[in-house]
Amino acid sequence: MKLNKVLPVLFLIMFLVMVGFGIIIPVLPFYAEELGASPAELGLLMSVYSIMQFIFAPMWGRISDRTGRKPVIMIGIFGLSLSFFMLAAASQLWMLFAARIVGGILSAANMPAVQAYVADITTDNDRSKGMGIIGAATGLGFIFGPAIGGVFTNINLQAPFYLAGIISLLTLFLVAIVLKESFHPANQQTKSQEGLSPSSFTRGPLPVLYFLQFFITLSLAGLEATFAYFAAARAGLDAVTLGYIFMIMGLASAAVQGSLGPLTKKFGEAAIIQLGIVVSAIGFALILLIHDFTTAALFLAVFGIGNGVIRPSISSILTKHSATGYGSVTGYLSSFDSLGRIIGPAAGGFLYSVAISLPYLSGIFLSIFAYMLFQVYKSRLKAAERG
């Protein structure tokens, strides 16, 4: 399949995957409470999914380097569908945990395999375009999913889970019928495992980008966990209004990700990442100044634009220059991303309990630290090129 034909298919697949994932977000807390979950158990229920992804994403990435991308993508989507139906059938709290664990383990295959697929079918010149389109699909799916889930909650609490399971099954059939395998072992068999050796995580240039992604996701997850409370306290915004604000942020982020190809060709990934970090820091600072719907929507959109371009650009650099297979690279990146989502909400909630502005001040600090990390990456890269 030609690039211009494959990317729309991948866009649709990831959009549907994230719609299914997002559908359950509004209802899961209420569903868990109905089955007797305490606030602490609810927090663990939300975290256990990311914990499983943190553990298993690298494994699925390596498997995709051996067996191909398509079967791993299908395993990931099947895992999502299975977990949604398990959630719908749950009658006790432990069944919810079992469903989230199964879903986290199997769906950890999705992002590494899809990004590796993009790396397989793109050249260095259009790699950022492909990664940006996947990022845009993910963001848009996560916008529309919760909105759909909220509507179907009016039927009953199980309805969103059944709907998410059906959408995932349909996506699985789409992958089976339309998507062709992209992986050709001959292209990557000669690559060594140098890029992921223990010593490379202290000396090599590329692993610095994994840690950079961790800090970026850490700050984002802290914002997501606390912004509803902050916006209610500072601007009196309710849940419905906040939904619109996050939708605007998601659309702004998706739009800039969809335009990443031309931007990268003009400025390069390094410049885009640095600019994205700076804009994210400015967004965090502006959020401290919100006082109504307009300022909240505008300032969160600024943050979303900056944050949205970072991961696709990091993925592009890693797959262009890593000495390992694409699946291994994207698997480890997904793992570091998940680690940020494990720690971020708890850290953000703690900081908010100390002072409501602290999650956003820490976001500025983490952005500055991420910018410094990128300078470390550049210096290590220059040293490696000289050596």
Structure tokens at 30: 């209420």
CB 311 within 8 A of CB 334: no
Distance CA 49, CA 43 (A): 11
pLDDT per position as a tens digit, 293-339: 999 999 999 999 999 999 999 999 999 887 778 999 999 999 999 99
Residue 288: predicted pLDDT: 96
Share above pLDDT 90 across residues of the chain, in percent, rounded to a whole number: 64
The position carrying tokens 């256990």 is: 48
Residue-range domain boundaries for the chain: 1-179, 200-387
Query: What is the CATH topology of the domain spanning 1-179?
Result: Growth Hormone; Chain: A; (1.20.1250)
Mean pLDDT of 82-97: 94
Of the pLDDT bands very low, low, confident and very high (cuts 50, 70, 90), residue 80 is very high
Q: Which two tokens stand for residue 332?
A: 């480890």
- Per-residue confidence (pLDDT) for residue 311, from 0 to 100: 93
Contact at 8 Å (CB) between 382 and 259? no
With 60 as the cut, is the pLDDT of residue 192 above it?
no
**Amino acid present at 314:** I
Amino acid making up residue 203: R
pLDDT classification of 225: cutoffs 50, 70, 90: confident
pLDDT category, 1, cuts 50, 70, 90?
low
- Nearest Cα neighbor of 88 from 168, 143, 28 is 28
CA distances from 64 to 73, 169, 279, 293, 305 (A): 9, 21, 35, 45, 31
What are the pLDDT digits (tens) for 108-161?
Answer: 999 999 999 999 999 888 899 899 999 999 989 888 888 888 778 777 888 889
For the beta carbon of residue 179, count every other beta carbon within 10 angstroms: 19
Q: Buried (b) or exposed (e) across 253-284, using 16+ Cβ within 10 A? A: bbbbbbebbebbeeeebeebbbbbbebbbbbb
Rounded Cα–Cα distance for residues 9 and 381 (Å): 35
Residue predicted with more confidence, 362 or 22: 362
- Alpha-carbon distance 346 to 14, whole Å? 28
The predicted-structure confidence for 250-293, as pLDDT tens digits, reads as follows 899 999 998 888 889 889 999 999 999 999 999 999 999 999 99
Q: Which amino acid is at 62?
A: R
Q: What integer best gives the mean pLDDT of the chain?
A: 89
Q: Count Cβ atoms below 10 Å from residue 320 Cβ, excluding itself.
A: 17
CATH of domain 200-387: 1.20.1250.20
Which of the pair, 286 or 385, is modelled with greater confidence? 286
Over residues 226-248, the mean pLDDT reads 87
143-162: b (≥16 Cβ within 10 Å) or e: bbbbebbbebbeeebbbbbb
Cα–chain-centroid distance for residue 197? 25
Least Cα distance to 186 among 65, 319, 63 occurs for 65
Q: What tokens does 264 get?
A: 């990268």
Please state, for a pLDDT cut of 70, what percent of the chain lies above it: 94
Give the pair of three-digit tokens for residue 330. Answer: 């994207």
- Asked if the domains at 1-179 and 200-387 fall in one CATH topology, the answer is yes
SS3 139: helix
Q: What token pair was written down for 35?
A: 């089955």
Name, in order, each residue with C-beta under 8 angstroms of 265's C-beta and a sequence gap of 6 or more.
125, 128
Q: Which residue reads 């793109």 in tokens?
A: 122
For the cut 60, the answer to whether the pLDDT of residue 221 exceeds it is yes
C-alpha span between 260 and 268 (Å, rounded): 10
> What per-residue confidence (pLDDT) applies to 332?
94
pLDDT category of residue 190 using cuts at 50, 70 and 90: very low
